[in-house]
Amino acid sequence: MAGKGKDELFFCGNCGYESKKWMGQCPSCKAWGAFSEAPVMRTVSVKGRSGNVISGVRGLEMIRPVPIKDISASEEERIPTGFDEFSRVLGGGIVPGSLVLIGGDPGIGKSTLLLQTAANVAGGITGEQDTAFAENKGAAGEGGRQVIYISGEESLKQIKLRADRIGDISDNLRFVSETNIDKIIALLEKERPELCIIDSIQTMYTEDAQSVPGSITQVRECAQRMMMCAKSLGIATFLVGHVTKEGTVAGPRVLEHIVDTVIYFESGEQFGYRILRSAKNRFGSTNEVGVFEMSEEGLKAVKNPSEYLLEGRPVNATGAVVTCLMEGSRALLLEVQGLVSESQYNLARRQANGMDYNRLSMLMAVLSRRAGLDLNALDAYVNIAGGMKVTQPSVDLAVIAALISAAKNLVIPGDTVIFGEVGLSGEVRAVPQAAERVKEAAKLGFKRVIMPQINVHGLKKGRVQGFDMESLGVEVVGVRFISELFGIL
């Protein structure tokens, strides 16, 4: 054969392994008969501008660096999910061609959320739904898009049963029950939907990998193929991934670096609501949360979680304090409960539900040393109502107030919100986004906010744009030291 010489290169069509000689079996991936001649790898010599001879490779397209001003970065239009709560967590809607992993325990509602989202996208529903999905009918409205929902977990019949609960679904949304990822990619290449759901990545397999579906190798390989597919065809893709209790076996953790965005669907299950939280997002911030509750007709967005979290709280009970947290850009009001009682044992008990035990111990030490309230001989319990886990120090002042209220039998008026960080000297330190917190309190009808003096100072000086304390009708009380609380409460 002409041209056969030392420039000859062969490569494995399966894994890309290169070799100077043809081989029957690839030493790298062990595939048989996959070797072929590489057409592009013959070197040529080109005369450079300075007259030097530059070696290059013929047939390879030249790559070219570009200056920053030539890169257009107009953000592509995002696809609305139909749930503001979900869109916000994604960073403002679904980015075309992005690969998003939704992880969560089995039964949390991943399939339901994605089915509803798929139905919304197919039906052209853009905004938050005030009412149950069923009333929106989900029929193909203007702007409906092609969506394919691929289930490897459920038969079409089972999907139908679920779909019946959430309402009418546009014909733009079509279903496939399949687990062979290569067949799925071939289908997507042909159909080119704008959105595709793979439920779940653990059930998918490719014949090119030897291990069983659900193994790390399969899961990673299938996700990688979906990534290529999403990017090259511009199909926004959601992958469902189960987190096992151990978090190891084929957990979606191995996928986190492959995908663009990772969202976890978590619960305070016994409390009936579920929280969407993004752990990684190439297209938005990672500290937004979305709150949902499961109903008879699928998931419903909880538009005002504060109201939800405060529902049924006792009014004018001792030990109950409302505080305000920030979850991303969103202010959340919730109740902190404290209880102290005579200890039956030599060693007093302390229990912290929803907050760090060590933080509680520290706050109790500060209370005793800096404010003279000695709780050493008493059992003390602190509970964050609603099953929330609070890690922000801005809850400190509310915990202190709850303990004071419980120990002194003082009722804190039900229209009061308290927040602030507490330091070891008993000083009350500033918290971020105080204006947002005050606004949320006002929105829910609270009349008095007890907060760090330094934040009050900031607000009064009008440093926060568009924040007008007068019009809110809230009395703002600043504190510098925790000992001042006794006088105020």
Residues that bind ligand TYD (CB under 6 A): 104, 106-112, 162, 165-166, 294, 296-298
Using the contact rule CB under 5 A, the part of the chain among 105-113, 117-125, 394-402, 408-416 near Mg ion is 105-113
Please report, as residue ranges, which positions from 187 to 206 form the binding site for Mg ion (by CB under 5 A). Answer: none
106 binds, among Mg ion, ligand TYD, none (CB under 5 to 8 A by kind): ligand TYD
For ligand TYD, the closer CB: 182 or 297? 297
297 binds, among ligand TYD, Mg ion, none (CB under 5 to 8 A by kind): ligand TYD
For Mg ion, the closer CB: 111 or 318? 111
Secondary structure (H, E, C), the chain = CCCCCCCCCEEECCCCCEECCCCCECCCCCCECCEEECCCCCEEEEECCCCCEEEEECCCCCCCCCCHHHCCCCCCCCECCCCHHHHHHHCCCECCCCEEEEEECCCCCHHHHHHHHHHHHHHCCCCCCCCCHHHHCCCCCCCCCCEEEEECCCCHHHHHHHHHHHCCCCCCEEEEECCEHHHHHHHHHHHCCCEEEEECHHHCECCCCCCCCCCHHHHHHHHHHHHHHHHHHCCEEEEEEECCCCCCCCCHHHHCCCCCEEEEEEEEHHHCEEEEEEEEECCCCCCCEEEEEEECCEEEECCCHHHHHHCCCCCCCECEEEEEEEECCEEEEEEEEEEEEECCCCCCCEEEECCCHHHHHHHHHHHHHHCCCCCCCEEEEEEEHHHCCCCCHHHHHHHHHHHHHHHHCCECCCCEEECCEECCCCEEECCCCHHHHHHHHHHCCCCEEEEEHHHHHHHHCCCCCCCCHHHHCCEEEEECECCHHHHHC
Query: Shortest Cβ distance from residue 119 to ligand TYD (Å)?
Result: 12
Query: Shortest Cβ distance from residue 242 to Mg ion (Å)?
Result: 8
117 binds, among Mg ion, ligand TYD, none (CB under 5 to 8 A by kind): none
Cβ-proximal residue to Mg ion, closest one: 111
For ligand TYD, the closer CB: 44 or 161? 161
Of 81, 98, 111, 151, the one binding Mg ion (CB under 5 A) is 111
70 binds, among ligand TYD, Mg ion, none (CB under 5 to 8 A by kind): none
Query: Shortest Cβ distance from residue 103 to Mg ion (Å)?
Result: 12
For ligand TYD, the closer CB: 173 or 310? 173
For ligand TYD, the closer CB: 147 or 397? 147
For ligand TYD, the closer CB: 113 or 310? 113
266 binds, among ligand TYD, Mg ion, none (CB under 5 to 8 A by kind): none
Q: Which residues bind Mg ion (CB under 5 A)?
A: 111
